[in-house]
């Protein structure tokens, strides 16, 4: 399995990866001029020790490359992990990469995330962010219909602007932003991906990005089973 669909039109695709649990072990042991050729029980204990004691640099020698297609509201939450990675990893410079499609250059048909009537959620009772239970189906139906009408209006103005010779980079201003799907490549270390998973698999994370995090975990857990079990111990068991 290399791709998992998310939401109505989105997906996460595993493009490439480098390394395995053995990579982590050998990176940790290089100072002793030792190398393992097969993962042993001793190696597994070493990975557990590294994760438990916060010795994270060996986990940065394994890399993961993903292609993601998600609403802009998800993409901008995700982007924070690239911005913060230099400080988080303590390297002084981030080795992460993020390349995103741009409507300055492409005019493919825009795709939008529209929640169904049963997917609209209420505001939480005890927090300023996040969401609560589903709202009444009739009210959800109303907002699904209104959102589709709003998107239709924006699309009509966007297409009219293009037809009248307005450049794509300005015509896109008419497109409703937060539900608009965007596509990007994310290349990051195993440590960075595990940090993302720990944050976005939490119960209080926005549901839409939780769904993407679950897809990421499903795609890579068989590649780095021991490391992910230790780095995301509270999440990988479900």
User: Where exactly are the structural domains of the chain?
Assistant: 3-104+180-231, 117-174
Q: Which residue has the higher pLDDT, 189 or 96?
A: 189
Write down the H helix ranges in 176-223.
Answer: 190-200, 207-220
Please compute the mean of the pLDDT values over residues 113-127 and round it to a whole number. 88
**Confidence at residue 7, expressed as pLDDT on a 0 to 100 scale:** 93
DSSP 31-95: GGT---SS--HHHHHHHHHHHHHT--GGGGGSEEEEEEEEEHHHHHHHHHHHHTHHHHHTSSS--
> Distance between CA atoms of 71 and 111, rounded to whole angstroms?
9
Q: Is 68 helix (H, G, I), strand (E, B) or coil?
A: strand
**Confidence at residue 193, expressed as pLDDT on a 0 to 100 scale:** 94
Number of residues that make up the chain: 238
For the cut 70, the answer to whether the pLDDT of residue 133 exceeds it is: yes
Q: Residue 204 — pLDDT band, cuts 50, 70, 90?
A: confident
Q: Please list the residues that pair with 182 across neighbouring strands.
A: 70
What percentage of the chain reaches a pLDDT higher than 90?
67
Tokens of 5: 């669909």
Mean pLDDT is highest, among 191-200, 201-210, 212-221, for 212-221
Tokens of 130: 């996040």
163 phi, psi to nearest 5 deg:
-65, -30
Under 8 Å between Cβ of 98 and 70: no
Q: Is 62 helix (H, G, I), strand (E, B) or coil?
A: coil
pLDDT in tens, 146-195: 999 999 999 999 999 999 999 988 999 999 989 999 999 999 999 999 99
Residues 40, 45, 46, 49, Cα dihedral to 10°: 170
Query: Which residues belong to the active site?
Result: 200
Q: Which residue has the higher pLDDT, 150 or 101?
A: 150
For the cut 80, the answer to whether the pLDDT of residue 92 exceeds it is: no
Q: Please list the residues that pair with 17 across neighbouring strands.
A: 64
Sign, CA torsion 173/175/179/185: negative
Q: Residue 235 — pLDDT band, cuts 50, 70, 90?
A: very low
Q: Residue 83 — pLDDT band, cuts 50, 70, 90?
A: low
Q: Are strands 97-100 and 63-71 parallel, antiparallel or unpaired?
A: unpaired
Please compute the mean of the pLDDT values over residues 92-105 and round it to a whole number. 67
For 3-104+180-231, which CATH class?
Answer: alpha beta
């Amino acid at each position: 399995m290399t791709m998992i669909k998310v939401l109505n039109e989105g997906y996460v695709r595993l493009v490439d990866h480098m390394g395995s649990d053995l990579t982590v072990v050998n990176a940790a042991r290089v100072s002793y001029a030792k190398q393992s050729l097969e993962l042993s029980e001793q190696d597994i204990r070493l990975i557990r020790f590294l994760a438990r004691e916060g010795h994270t640099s060996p986990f940065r020698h394994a890399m993961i490359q993903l292609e993601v297609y998600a609403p802009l509201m998800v993409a901008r939450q995700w982007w924070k992990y690239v911005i913060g990675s230099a400080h988080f990893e303590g390297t002084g410079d981030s080795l992460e990469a993020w390349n995103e499609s741009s409507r300055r250059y492409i005019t493919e048909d825009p795709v939008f995330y529209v929640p169904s009537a049963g997917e609209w959620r209420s505001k939480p009772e005890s927090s300023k962010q996040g969401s609560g239970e589903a709202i009444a189906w009739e009210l959800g139906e109303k907002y699904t219909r209104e959102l589709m009408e709003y998107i239709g209006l924006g699309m009509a103005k966007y297409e009219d602007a293009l037809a009248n010779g307005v450049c794509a980079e300005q015509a896109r201003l008419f497109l409703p932003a937060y539900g608009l799907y965007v596509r990007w490549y994310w290349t990051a270390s195993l440590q960075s991906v595990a940090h993302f998973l720990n944050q976005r698999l939490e119960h209080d994370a926005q549901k839409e990005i939780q769904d993407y995090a679950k897809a990421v975990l499903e795609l890579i857990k068989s590649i780095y089973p021991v490391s992910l079990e230790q780095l995301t111990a509270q999440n990988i068991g479900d």
